Amino acid sequence: SSKIPNVELSNGVLMPQLAIGTAPLSAEPGQSVASNPRFIGFFPERVYRSVHLALSAGMRHIDTALMYRSQEPIARVLGHWFMEGKLKREDLFLTSKVYHPPSPPSFDINDTCVDMDNLTVEQVEAKLHEHFQRVLAELGLGYVDLMLLHWPSSGGEGGHVQSAGEGEEKRPIQMADIDPNKRAKRIAAWKVLEHYYSIGLCRAIGVSNFNELHLQHLMEDGAKVRPQVNQIETSVYIQHKSIIKYCMENDIAVVAYSPFGRGVMSIEDDEVILSIAEKHSVSPGHVALHFLTQQGISAAFFSSSEERIKSNMNVFSLELDDDDIKALSALNRSASWGLPSPFMLS
């Protein structure tokens, strides 16, 4: 889309800076993500609707994952667009992810996760080959534009992200001790992605939920390709400054997921955000999103509202000043909406 700028990845591939997300953890306002007991938050009709609306509005970057169970609905929506001659494969940028640790049974009903703790390195490798090929089969698009390792390892408690307060050097986090066994499986999984990258079945490869140490170890452990992307939870409230600084210094593009705190942390009621929004005559959501995009961070957001999608796409006309950035930077806090912090993962 002409409205959404591209970010150039380290290998020259252009990635649209905004993506429509299709994760299943979509709660109704004021409800927990488990509000749909049969699907634990997965509403297939929303995937169909949001992908169609995003394409209609001119978005071309779709973010999914094997364990989201949304790849087949995405493929069907794209099929309609292809059938009507409204879209070509090369117009799209498709991100998917493999290597997700075990989840509750209702999530992992059809073997979309990897039992990384109990599999050998060789079994992890075999499982990743199987899962990569399954992503290609479910999407039916021939190749993916970006494939990520979904998580660095299993473990880590959700809901208590101890990211920095002021001054990153005072960060109260205890970095999880790196487990050599998990580290060996991580590089084995990464080499599977490198294989498919080398034969052209993905145009770029990256990681998700990795901290600086995880990234550094990949290179030390023999990665031939440095990850081109790291997708992490990032918002005005969870800023992960040290990870972002490391990524920027090493030419790793950062993609934020849950850029609005997924409705659990309310940007709509935040006085700092509201006053900046008023000053620029924009919505609080614009301020929260532009805080990221102005730093060169990309973002994947979920919405099945046409108005909200179009509004998010217009975020690039906003220009926050130094005072705004300073005030928003001070909102960094040490709690997330419930997923483990990258620093809790060994």
Task: Show the domain range for 81.
Answer: 6-344
> Is the four-CA dihedral 322, 325, 327, 333 of positive or negative sign?
negative
In a domain, 1, yes or no: no
Contact by Cβ (8 Å): 147, 202: yes
Contact by Cβ (8 Å): 99, 149: yes
Stretch 217-235: mean pLDDT, rounded? 96
* pLDDT at residue 160, rounded to an integer: 33
Q: Does the predicted model carry a pTM greater than 0.75? A: yes
d(CA 279, CA 273): 10
Q: Kindly report the average pLDDT of the chain as a whole number.
A: 86
* pLDDT at residue 268, rounded to an integer: 84
Beta strands in the chain (DSSP E): 6-8, 14-16, 18-21, 61-63, 93-98, 144-149, 202-208, 229-233, 253-257, 298-301
pLDDT above 60: residue 276 = yes
In a domain, 41, yes or no: yes
Residue type, 3: K
pLDDT above 70: residue 88 = yes
In a domain, 264, yes or no: yes
**Residues above pLDDT 90, as percent of the chain:** 65
* pLDDT at residue 111, rounded to an integer: 86
Q: How confident is the model at residue 105 (pLDDT cuts 50, 70, 90)?
A: low
**Beta strand pairing status for 14-16 and 229-233?**
unpaired
The per-residue pLDDT for range 242-259, each reduced to its tens digit, is 999 999 999 999 999 989
Q: How confident is the model at residue 30 (pLDDT cuts 50, 70, 90)?
A: low
* pLDDT at residue 75, rounded to an integer: 97
* Closest among 211, 223, 236 to 152, alpha carbons compared: 211
In a domain, 94, yes or no: yes
Higher-scoring residue by pLDDT: 186, 1: 186
pLDDT above 90: residue 37 = no
Q: How many domains is the chain partitioned into structurally?
A: 1
pLDDT above 90: residue 110 = no
pLDDT above 90: residue 73 = yes
What is the rounded (10 degree) CA torsion for 103, 63, 267, 8?
130
Binding-site residue numbers for substrate are 150
pLDDT above 50: residue 201 = yes
Residues taking part in catalysis: 68
* Closest among 242, 247, 246, 315 to 277, alpha carbons compared: 315
* pLDDT at residue 159, rounded to an integer: 35
pLDDT above 80: residue 228 = yes
Which CATH number is 211's domain given? 3.20.20.100
* pLDDT at residue 23, rounded to an integer: 82
Stretch 224-232: mean pLDDT, rounded? 98
In a domain, 222, yes or no: yes
d(CA 303, CA 129): 32
In a domain, 132, yes or no: yes
- What is residue 150's DSSP assignment? S
